[in-house]
Amino acid sequence: MISGLTSAAPVAIVIFLVTIGLVIARPRRLTEARAALIGAAVMVLAGLVAPVDAATNVAGHWNVLLFFVGLTGAAAVAERSGLFEALAGTSARLSGGQPRRLLVAVVIAGAVVAALLSNDAAALALTPVVYVLVTRFGLEPLPYVLACTFVADAASLALPVSNPVNVIVTADLGISAISLAPVLLPAALAAVVALLGCLLVIYRRDLPSASPILPATDSWVSWSGIPRPLLASFGVAVMIFAVASALDLPLGLAMTVAWLLLLVVERLGGRLVGPLSGIGWSLLVFVAAMGVLVDGLSSAGVTAWLASLVLGPVRDTPAAVMAVSAAAGAVGANLFNNLPAAFVLADAVHGAGLGAASAHAAAIGTIIGADLGPNLTPVGSVATLLWFVLLRQRGLEVSTWSYIRIGLIVTPTTILAALAVGLLLGVPR
């Protein structure tokens, strides 16, 4: 038996890996939330996590879970309000349809949405809007669609609100989420600038000098279509979050209050949708179940073993801890999925008993790796291969390489840019 691992470790590892396999492969349309729930249940039935500990684990994540309710709810209000269309309209007007300027505008719009409303909002809600935008200009949408997908992750380092990974890592390590912002905000900026540089170089010969079509300026959605009170309440929501962060209040509570405010203003404005419409329930269940699964790995000594293996040799050198954590986060995100990778790494770092400076560096490194790592291919690597197989089965042939090569260039570049800033600002001298 490897030192540190208990006799239950092989069972825990198999349950975890099979669960991740089910999450990725989705056999018979099994959702990722159900797959994770089944995995968590098996972990409990196998005696690796006591039922009461599983319940405590889920309850202990109340702040994170509440945060996701508020975040996905607020993003849904933003989507319904036409905020993304208005943002696209502004990008269209400011760029004048000049393809390079439009690419820059899309990256900036994506960065703002990802930073304030999460990477999922940018990837899920903004990307189709960008597709519509560039298609109306008669441009080939691929560079813009990929820009949107990539910037969703590159900018998601910025704030706690920008990526579920950020909240999971800081909550599990007991670090004030906003305390990392002075490092992660500049790191996000570096990653976005690096991304933009990569895209402009990669597509330097593919973007025409002018758009083939110039739709009338007034054909674009404008901000006047969004009710003023709702627009103002988005500003108030951001302020609520900023004040709660500054006072170190539970962010889940702040986010939920902000979401409820938006919901009330939306309903007062006459938009009657189900109040729970748009909430990412599957994300919630997935996160809760993943906490229990990782608890099982932890009790079997797997995460502690991983910590000694990965962080042991460098534990007293914060700069090395940050670099190794970033690499581990990126590898984990590409091997399976970034959320489980963040959970496992956070638990490993937590159990490694690092000093304050090293723990701080590990949190920054893990966030950089797990946030930016999945971009190695547009949708995550091993998983992507399965996805391409699925596409082919549906009769859609995709020129795989033309997509993957972009990620192979962009991901290492953005990680290195963010890591350089992290090492510069996040390691005590």
Partner 1 sequence: MSDVRRVLVALAGAEDPALVPELAGVLGPGFPTLEIRLLHVVDSGPRALLPIGPLPGRGPWPKPPDAAIQQRMADAEDEGSTALLATWRDRFSAGLPGATISTEVRRGQPEHEIIAGTKEYRAQAVVLCPRPRTGATESGPRSVGHVARFVVDHAPVPVVLMRHPA
Q: How far is the CB of 357 from partner 1 (least distance, A)?
A: 29
- Site membership for partner 1, residue 271 (CB under 8 A): no
Distance (Å, whole) CA 395 – CA 391: 7
Please, is 396 exposed, middle or buried when counting C-beta atoms within 10 Å of its C-beta (0-12, 13-18, 19+)?
exposed
Annotate each residue in 109-148 with x if it binds partner 1 (CB under 8 A) or - if it does not, as one string. Answer: ----------xx--xx--xx--xxx-xxxxxxxx--xx--
What residues from 201 to 260 belong to the interface with partner 1 (CB under 8 A)? Answer: 205-209, 211-213, 215
Within residues 283-302, the interface with partner 1 by CB under 8 A covers 283, 286
- Which residue, 189 or 279, has its beta carbon nearer to partner 1? 279
Q: Which of 89, 374, 422, 426 binds partner 1 (CB under 8 A)?
A: 374
Residue from 334, 346, 372, 242 nearest 287 by CA: 346
Does 153 help bind partner 1 (rule: CB under 8 A)? yes
- CA 32 to the chain's CA centroid: 16
* Binding flag, residue 96, partner 1 (CB under 8 A): no
Member of 4, 26, 80, 257 binding partner 1 (CB under 8 A): 26
Among 380, 413, 419, 422, binds partner 1 (CB under 8 A): 380
Residues 269, 257: Cα–Cα separation, whole Å: 18
**Displacement of CA 67 from its chain's centroid (Å):** 14
d(CA 21, CA 114): 28
Q: What is the DSSP track for 322-356?
A: HHHHHHHHHHHHHHT-HHHHHHHHHHHHHHTT--H
C-alpha of 159 from chain center = 11
Query: Applying CB under 8 A, does 338 fall inside the site for partner 1?
Result: yes
> Is there a contact between 119 and 162 (Cβ–Cβ < 8 Å)?
yes
Is 192 one of the binding residues for partner 1 (CB under 8 A)?
Answer: no
CB 284 within 8 A of CB 384: no
Nearer to partner 1, 50 or 390 (CB): 390
Query: Among residues 72 and 91, whose Cβ is nearest to partner 1?
Result: 72
Looking at 39, 70, 89, 280, which residue binds partner 1 (CB under 8 A)? 280
User: What is the chain's percent helix, strand, coil content, to nearest 5?
Assistant: 80, 0, 20
Residues making contact with partner 1 (CB under 8 A):
23-26, 31-33, 72, 119-120, 123-124, 127-128, 131-133, 135-142, 145-146, 149, 153, 164-165, 205-209, 211-213, 215, 278-283, 286, 333, 337-339, 374, 377-381, 383-384, 386-387, 391, 396-399, 402-403
